[in-house]
């Protein structure tokens, strides 16, 4: 990771190397940290953060689920994100707000801990590699079951959820795949470790519903709105692993991964006739995030110098 200049910590811009916390920070031990991940892109009118308000709305909802009183409004955090991107050298960057139970108390009751809020930015290439949008990635259905809202609410973007993601990711990598696909406790498709998943069969696009135990992705929502606007038939519905194997197209969606084709699942080739619908959606996504579509310009928050 290439160091940037500043990190926003508890309402102050501190030097990158000074943004440190104590080893007895409560959230580090008990997983009590909620976070967000968004991207700032270059556009013809300067740099802009994509769907900043929606990401911060999800951040506030994650905090609410975990009874964290952040002490900042979404508006104040939005201003801090924009100001931080302005101060740091890498303008095309990933933006990571995080809130966690801070140092001071140990033990399982998080309500005794102060909440710290920080925002960092860094340069981050596509999470699944440059090839993901061109050739596509190879995925495997994980033996690990996705967490569900009876145990860890997947709609809260909590650090604890990512232990489940990491188990699936490591298993996939160890088996020689690029990415995992997790089924939920009912045995139907949920999502990737850090991405939502879509499939296309006979010209119909579909994705698992929010009730299947997924994070409601902002990119997922973007793709759904594109499908409507492009008049692509679309459903939210459950699918089994064998329905994935026999799909015409499959792709992951996420802020870190972008729109990433899946060219193989457990040795079954996907995309025999190419990825025409995925390509259309990915092309529009690229245009929109880079400010080349007036229609969706409301989704871009400018970062003016």
Check binding of 217 to ligand PLP (CB under 6 A).
yes
**Angle, CA of 252, 229 and 221, to the nearest 5°:** 40
Residue (of 127, 54, 49, 126) closest to 81 by Cα position: 49
Of positions 34, 82, 180, 218, contacts ligand PLP by CB under 6 A? 218
Provide, rounded to whole angstroms, the least separation between the CB of residue 195 and ligand PLP.
5
Check binding of 190 to ligand PLP (CB under 6 A).
no
Q: Which one of 6, 157, 169, 261 is the catalytic residue? A: 157
Check binding of 254 to ligand PLP (CB under 6 A).
yes
Q: For this structure, is 157 an active site residue?
A: yes
Looking only at residues 111 through 150 of this chain, which bind ligand PLP when binding is defined by CB under 6 A?
Answer: none
Token representation of residue 65 = 């689920």
Check binding of 215 to ligand PLP (CB under 6 A).
yes
Cβ pair 121, 91 in contact under 8 A: no
* C-alpha distances out from residue 156 to 63, 67, 94, 107, 251, Å: 8, 11, 20, 22, 23
Stretch that binds ligand PLP, among 19-27, 62-70, 117-125, 217-225 (CB under 6 A): 217-225
Residue (of 181, 202, 180) closest to 273 by Cα position: 202
The DSSP bridge pattern shows strands 137-145 and 179-183 to be: parallel
Cβ pair 82, 119 in contact under 8 A: no
Token pair 């006739």 in the structure block, residue: 273
Of positions 27, 97, 136, 194, contacts ligand PLP by CB under 6 A? 194
Q: Which is nearer to ligand PLP, 61 or 103 (CB)?
A: 61
Interacting residues toward ligand PLP by CB under 6 A: 37, 165, 191, 194-196, 215, 217-220, 253-255
The residues that are catalytic are 157
């Amino acid at each position: 990771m290439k160091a940037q200049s500043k990190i926003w910590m508890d309402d102050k811009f501190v030097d990158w190397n000074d943004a440190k916390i104590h080893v007895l920070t409560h959230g580090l031990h008990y997983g009590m940290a909620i976070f967000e991940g968004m991207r700032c892109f270059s556009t013809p009118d300067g740099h802009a953060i994509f769907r900043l308000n929606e990401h911060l709305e999800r951040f506030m909802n994650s905090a609410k689920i975990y009874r964290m009183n952040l002490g900042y409004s979404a508006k104040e955090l939005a201003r801090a994100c924009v100001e931080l991107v302005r101060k740091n050298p890498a303008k095309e960057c990933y933006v990571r707000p995080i809130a966690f139970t801070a140092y001071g108390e140990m033990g399982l009751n998080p309500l005794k801990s102060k909440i710290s809020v920080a925002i960092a930015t860094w340069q981050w290439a596509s999470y699944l590699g440059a090839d993901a949008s061109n050739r596509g990635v190879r995925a495997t259905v994980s033996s690990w079951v996705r967490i569900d809202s009876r145990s860890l609410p997947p709609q809260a973007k909590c650090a604890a959820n990512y232990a489940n993601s990491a188990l699936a990711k490591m298993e996939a990598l160890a088996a020689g795949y690029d990415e995992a696909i997790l089924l939920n406790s009912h045995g139907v498709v949920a999502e990737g470790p850090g991405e939502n998943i879509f499939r296309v069969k006979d010209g119909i696009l579909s994705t698992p519903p929010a009730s299947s135990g997924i994070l409601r992705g902002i990119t997922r929502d973007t793709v759904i709105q594109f499908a409507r606007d492009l008049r692509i038939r679309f459903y939210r519905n459950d699918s089994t692993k064998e329905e994935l194997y026999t799909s015409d197209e499959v792709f992951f969606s996420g802020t870190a991964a972008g729109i990433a084709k899946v060219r193989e699942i457990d040795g079954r080739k996907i995309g025999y006739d190419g990825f025409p619908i995925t390509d259309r959606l990915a092309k529009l996504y690229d245009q929109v995030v880079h400010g080349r579509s007036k229609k969706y310009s409301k989704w871009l928050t400018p970062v003016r110098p």
